Amino acid sequence: MDPLEGAKVVAHWSFAADTENDYVVGEVLVRDDGVLLERFGGLSGSGDPKSTANYVFGSWHRVDWWEGHTTLAAAWARLRGMGYDLGDPSPVPIEDGRTGPFIFEPDPPAHLE
């Protein structure tokens, strides 16, 4: 699937969101034609320092409840209002589902910096 289908990217973020029994992580893509796409996944690895990790995502799918917001500010406000925590996207290109491996180097806890 070509996630753009001729449209342009308005916004591309990683997200974490609570569900009824758990939470989900992935990425969202807002297109200039009013479509919101979502894919689930993220960093996959053991989490041990200096081990390897990959970014792995499922396929993009259209979000049916999206009202067609096409500006960065409106999309940000609506997603945040729906409980999405938004951040920088992964290094995986939007047309791919995987990248890596990388050496996993976690950030130190803030109290140790």
Per-residue pLDDT tens listing for the chain (113 residues) = 688 888 999 999 999 998 888 899 999 999 999 999 999 999 887 666 677 888 999 999 999 999 999 999 999 999 999 999 999 999 999 999 988 887 777 667 677 65
The domain spans of the chain are 9-42+59-96
10 with 68: CB under 8 angstroms? no
CA distance linking residue 95 with residue 73, whole number of Å: 24
SS3 2: coil
Q: What is the pTM of this model?
A: 0.82
Residue 31 DSSP code: E
Which H helix or E strand runs over 111? none
